[in-house]
Amino acid sequence: MLLDQLIGQERATTVLRNAIRRGRVAHAYLFRGPESVGKSTAALLFAQYLNCEAIRAGEDGRACGRCRSCRLIEKRSHPDVRFLTPSDDSDQSVIPIERIREEFVYDVNLRPVIGRYKIYVIDPADRTAPLAIHTVLKALEEPPRYTVIVLVTSVPASLPPTIPSRCQQIAFQLAGTDAVEQHLLTLALDPAEAASLARLSGGRIAWAIRAAQRPEVLAARRNLLDLCAGLKERGLPGSLRAAEEIKLQAAGLARAAVEAGSDSSAEEDTSGVGTAAVGERAVRGELPWCLDVIVSWYRDLLAAGQGGSLLNPDYKSALGQEVGTAACRRAERAIERILATRRAIQRNANLDLALESLAIELVGGE
């Protein structure tokens, strides 16, 4: 993959490529923008452009992706390119100060071994150990001329204000859902699933790609939509089981993420975290996505009633069976309730209670 092939990030990648082409590479960059839009991938591709052995002066500044340097960077084993990331993907995990010292502070003044540049990618920069960010800050004062520091964050406000002011800021944005859908189709995804995942992604391309490559995500989506389709027939006794099933889908996603050594909220997968039991926190982390799928069902009920386009085109006939004035009213109320539950879960509400009361309302609401 090349830097200019990043979906929906033409502005950001043009700035970076022009910097290389004109020989005006900054010492420090802050890649900022929403989660899962490709910032981490961009940092890796930028490092390839900076150190590619096949780039010659005067050319358009494209990395080849094949030379020794490009391949080493892709494997994250280039001696001059360091990726400083938390050791696992849990929210509490930070980049320890010892790593910042050993791999950055002590290293930054040594000349590159094989590359043109020494590149340090600190990702996410907002998750460095409390004092570590100040060591980074110090290095930003007088970086050696062959050094490029790339700080990646989706919450720039949580960095000390002096950090952004010492970096060239590169803004990444959400991609258009059409662009995401087109890209998913190139991954040989079923067209209806591609359309649905693109819309569920809200333009977060890295999320969409990861979802498309994880069969359990596609399966969870189908299970949740099937659950929605059958919800009305369940009656109140079935609603508790429905709550249980929603939680089960989230647990399945969390378990698969642990087994794959990645986390749904991280941009890139990092080193494996083994097969630790799936804790409640991991389930809680997957639930907002599950609730988004359920919201998409009710949005589709509204859209189907008004002849709008569907988020889940493959469920057109199931939706058609429910459409009607009552269904529209029910859908509006359901969306409100689901979003309130989503917020409550993110604020640490009791999972079982929140899901049970939601399911009771979704089943019973008429």
Contact footprint for Zn ion (CB under 5 A): 52, 54, 63-64, 67, 70
Number of neighbouring beta carbons within 10 Å of residue 343: 13
Q: Which is nearer to Zn ion, 67 or 105 (CB)?
A: 67
Q: Which is nearer to Zn ion, 81 or 180 (CB)?
A: 81
Q: Which is nearer to Zn ion, 71 or 234 (CB)?
A: 71
DSSP string, 241-309: HHHHHHHHHHHHHHHHHHHTT--TTSSS--S--TT----HHHHHHHHHHHHHHHHHHHHHHHHHHTT--
CA angle 313, 314, 319 (to 5 degrees): 75
Nearest-approach distance from CB 48 to Zn ion, in angstroms: 6
Nearest-approach distance from CB 43 to Zn ion, in angstroms: 16
Q: Is 91 buried (19+), middle (13-18) or exposed (0-12) by CB count in 10 A?
A: exposed
Number of neighbouring beta carbons within 10 Å of residue 228: 26
- Among 194, 231, 236, which Cα is nearest to 211's? 194
CB 301 within 8 A of CB 232: no
Nearest-approach distance from CB 3 to Zn ion, in angstroms: 12
Q: Which is nearer to Zn ion, 51 or 249 (CB)?
A: 51
- In whole angstroms, give the CA distance from residue 121 to residue 128: 12
Q: Which is nearer to Zn ion, 42 or 310 (CB)?
A: 42
Q: Which is nearer to Zn ion, 81 or 220 (CB)?
A: 81
Residue with tokens 């879960």: 345
Nearest-approach distance from CB 45 to Zn ion, in angstroms: 11
Nearest-approach distance from CB 20 to Zn ion, in angstroms: 13
Bridge pairing between strands 147-153 and 168-171 = unpaired
Nearest-approach distance from CB 51 to Zn ion, in angstroms: 8
Nearest-approach distance from CB 65 to Zn ion, in angstroms: 6
**Could you give the maximum distance between any two Cα atoms of the chain, in Å?**
71
Please state, in angstroms and as integers, the Cα–Cα distance from residue 366 to each residue in 233, 243, 294, 300, 326, following that order.
12, 18, 17, 17, 7
Radius of gyration of the chain (CA): 23
Q: Which is nearer to Zn ion, 72 or 195 (CB)?
A: 72
